Amino acid sequence: MAANNPSETPRDKPPQSIEAVHQDISFANTYRLEVIKTMLAITTALLAFTISFRPTLDVIEQQNSMVIGWVCLATSLIAGIATMYCWERFYISYRDFDWKGLHDNGKSYRSTVTFFRRWLFAIQCIGFLLGVAGVANFAIVNVAHVHHIS
């Protein structure tokens, strides 16, 4: 069938080669890893920067925004590290179970690990967004109160 034939369905196409499937999996893993690492790096930098270099303010408004931001960023950081650990446990399970012929145990273990890594990644993302929002809110509210050195 021609590639532009509208009646062609995905079932009519030949399956991908195993090399193409491996390349797709490799690309997806690299992308996932980079997203997690980038969020970890930004979270760590923002948390460290806002704690270390607090501005000198004449008046402080909505300080709880900054505290909430810090708690959310710290939660995101911990969840991100735990997510990376879960991925490590997921991949090592092939050695620990499947290589030893315990395929059903490996599938069950990976299912449990997948549940936790998905939840942890969601917590990482939510913590990151709320943390950035908290720090940004504090900065926006207090930008007019910065003490200028004469």
- For a pLDDT cut of 70, what percent of the chain falls above it? 77
> Does the residue 11 lie in any domain?
no
> Does the residue 19 lie in any domain?
no
Q: Write down the pLDDT at residue 99.
A: 82
Q: How high is the mean pLDDT of the chain?
A: 83
> Does the residue 7 lie in any domain?
no
Residue 97 reports pLDDT greater than 70:
yes
> Does the residue 49 lie in any domain?
yes
> Does the residue 122 lie in any domain?
yes
**Average pLDDT of span 124-128:** 96
Instruction: Give me the number of domains the chain comprises.
Output: 1
**Average pLDDT of span 26-50:** 87
Q: Write down the pLDDT at residue 82.
A: 96
> Does the residue 86 lie in any domain?
yes
Residue 64 reports pLDDT greater than 50:
yes
Q: Is the model more confident about 123 or about 27? A: 123
Residue 103 confidence class, pLDDT cut points 50, 70, 90? confident
> Does the residue 59 lie in any domain?
no
Whole-angstrom Cα distance, residue 5 to residue 7? Answer: 5
- Which residue range forms the structural domain that includes residue 134? 25-53+65-145
> Does the residue 14 lie in any domain?
no
The pTM of this model reads: 0.75
Looking at 6-15, 37-46, 55-64, which range is the least confident one?
6-15
Q: Write down the pLDDT at residue 24.
A: 66
Chain center to CA of 28:
14
